[in-house]
Amino acid sequence: MKHDTPARACGIDFGTSNSTAGWHRPGQASLLALEDGKITLPSVVFFNAEERRPVYGRLALHEYLEGYEGRLMRSLKSLLGSKLIKHDTSVLGTAMPFKDLLGLFIGELKKRAEASAGRGFDQVVLGRPVHFVDDDAAADQEAEDTLAAVARKVGFSEVSFQFEPIAAAYDYEANIQGEELVLIVDIGGGTSDFSLIRLAPERHYLDDRQADILATGGVHIGGTDFDKQLNIQGVMPLFGYGSRMKSQALMPTSYHLNLATWHTINAVYAQKSQLALANMRYDIEDSLGIDRLFKLIEQRAGHWLAMEVEASKIELTDQPQRRVDLGRIEAGLDVLLTRDLFESAIDGLLERVRGGVGELLASAGVSAGQVDTVFFTGGSSSIPALRNSVAALLPKARHVEGDNFGSIGSGLAIEARRRYG
C-alpha cells in the first residue's frame, strides 16, 4: 500500500468528554483542528434558548457559563448502551430523540473535520470502548449498531470500528525502535479499556494485526465516574446527602446521584422531582442541606457544580487540595476538596480497574513480569492513585505517557488509511 498520498478515510474518536478526528497525511500531524485551532472538541451541546440554536464544544460551555438561557448536554457517549437512548428529551420546548442528539454532535464532528481537511469524507473508522456495556454482549452490540446508524445518517457511507486501546497502540508503535509487549491503559471519560499487544516497527504497516493482539478488556469506569464519587463524597453532604429523616432513615440519594452524573442532571429540574423533594422537606431533621439543594436547583446550577468538581479532580492531579467557592448558592459557603478525600472516594473504582488488568493478563496467559511497557492514555490516566495502582501490578514494566487526548484519534487515522487506502 502506498503511504505517500493522503488517506481516503478519516478516524473519529467520539469521546465521553472530548472528541478528535484524525486524517493521515504524509509529513503532517494527523489530528485535525476542530475548534479555534485546537484538536479537541469537548463533547458538549448547548441549546441556546434565546437564539434558538445548538452550540458545540468550548463555545457551548462558554455560553452556558455566561448565563444564557438554555439546556446543556454533556457526556453524550454515555447514552450508548443506556436505556435513555430509546427515549426522547425536551429540547427548546420540543421532544428530541436521544439518537438525534447524538446525530447532531457526530454530524458537527464530520462537518468540522471536513472543513479542516478541505475535503469530504465518506468512510470513517470510529473508535469504540472494549465494552459499551459490561457483561451483556447483545446490549454491547446494540450500542455499536446505534452509533453506526447515527454515523450513516449524518453522511458516512462506510462505517467501521476499532477498539480505542488498539488505536492508541498503533499511535505508540509509530515511534518505537524495537519489539515490545505493551499493555495499553486507556482511561477515558466513560470507560477504562485495556489491550495487550505485541508491537514492532516492522509490523506497523501490516494489514492483518490480529495475531499481535493478545487480549482486550475493560470496565465501565471512567473520568465521569471519578467526578461523581468526588462530588458525592466531597460536595453533596453540604446539600443534604446523608441527612436523616425524622424516622431516622437516610434521605433518598437519587437527587444527589442525578446531580453528580452528567447526563442525568436535568432530571432533577423536572417539576415532578421538585414536588417530591418539597414534600420531603418537612420530614427532614435538619433542613439546612435540603434548602441549599433547592437553591441549587432553582439556579439550575447542577452543570456548573459538576464542572467545578471536574476542575478540582484535574487540579488534584498536581496539587494536594482545591477550595471550591459555593457563594452563588449561599454567601460565604465553600468546600475544601483534598487529594486524600479524592483517593478515598475512588478506591473502590480503582479496585475494579486493577481487577480488569489482572483478568486481561490471565486471559492472555501472560505474567506481569513479561510486560515490557505500560502505555497510559486518556484524559483521566494522569490521576496519581490510578497510575500507582496499575504500577503496583506491573513493577518491572516501564511507563510511557501518550497524548492523553490525541493518541486514539491518531491511531484511528492509521487504521482508516490501512482499511480504506
For the chain, where do the domains classified as CATH 3.30.420.40 start and end? Answer: 10-177+403-420
Q: Which amino acid is at 63?
A: E
- Give 178: exposed, middle or buried? Use CB within 10 Å, 0-12, 13-18, 19+: exposed
One digit per residue, pLDDT tens: the chain, 421 residues? 445 789 999 999 999 999 999 999 988 999 999 999 999 999 999 999 988 999 999 999 999 988 898 999 988 998 998 888 998 988 888 899 999 999 999 999 999 999 999 999 999 999 999 989 888 899 999 999 999 999 999 999 999 999 999 999 999 998 899 999 999 999 998 899 999 999 999 888 777 788 899 999 999 999 999 999 999 999 999 999 999 999 999 999 999 999 999 888 988 998 999 999 999 998 999 999 999 999 999 999 999 999 999 999 999 999 999 999 999 999 999 999 999 999 999 999 999 999 999 999 999 999 999 999 999 999 899 999 999 999 899 989 999 988 888 999 999 999 999 999 9
Instruction: Give bridge partners of residue 374 from the DSSP assignment.
Output: 183, 399
Distance from C-alpha of 21 to C-alpha of 69, rounded to nearest angstrom:
30
Instruction: Give bridge partners of residue 338 from the DSSP assignment.
Output: 321
Distance from C-alpha of 405 to C-alpha of 31, rounded to nearest angstrom:
10
Place of cell 430509546: 86
β 123-128/10-13 pair status: parallel
Three-state secondary-structure class, residue 293:
helix
Candidates 3.30.465.10, 3.20.20.140, 2.60.120.620, 3.30.420.40; CATH matching 10-177+403-420: 3.30.420.40
